[in-house]
Structure 1
Amino acid sequence: MTRYSRSGTDGPAGESDGTDPALEDALGALADERRRDLLRSLLERDGEGPVGVGELAEEIADESDAEDVRRSLRHAHLPRLDGAGIVAYDAREGEVRLAGDQPAVEDFLEAAEGSRN
């Protein structure tokens, strides 16, 4: 019987497929359009400091309800981006800021836009 790791990045138990788990986490976190919208908003602020989750939700809500967007940011999107090391999310204060390699995030967002056209 073949056993697979829980991470999905390894093949049969003990055999690595050569992928970097941190890279896989980051790419998975950046795959969602709402998360990319959130990151664009943070990048536009260019290091102005932490931003309130409610303020971000209103910026990226489009025609959606800002309260629903805020809820999804707090419970799904921000924890995922924080776990990947892309943002620093303080759930207690309800604030978020960019973390990690900002130029790499900008490059990924640019590449994602190019693939949509």
Structure 2
Amino acid sequence: MTTRRLHLDTFTLWFEAPFVMALRLHEMQLAALTGKTQDPTELSRMVSEKIAATAESAMAVNMALWRTGFDNAVRLMTGGGASLGLGGTAIAAAALKPYGKRVRVNARRLSRKTS
């Protein structure tokens, strides 16, 4: 993954996450003002998705770290030099991907739901 792609993914997540939060808060406020009960599925989804994304992100980061370390070990054993900075982008991308995927899906779903 290129650094440019990582910047784009980070920027997109930076804008979409508050949008999803605003849509969910809007639903909660409407339910409170109209006296309706909160949507238990949505409330449960808010928590369970974060737990799942955190676990997936931790696993992806560990795999990216392992891959970078393995690539450096092979490079050193074959006479090349270790690439100290090349794995950082892949590791950061691996950490963001699970969150970005869920935020994009939620943004689409919630924006259709309220319109």
TM normalised by structure 1 equals: 0.26
* Structure that is richer in helix per residue: 2
Higher RCO, Cα 8 Å, sep 6+ = 2
* Structure that is richer in strand per residue: 1
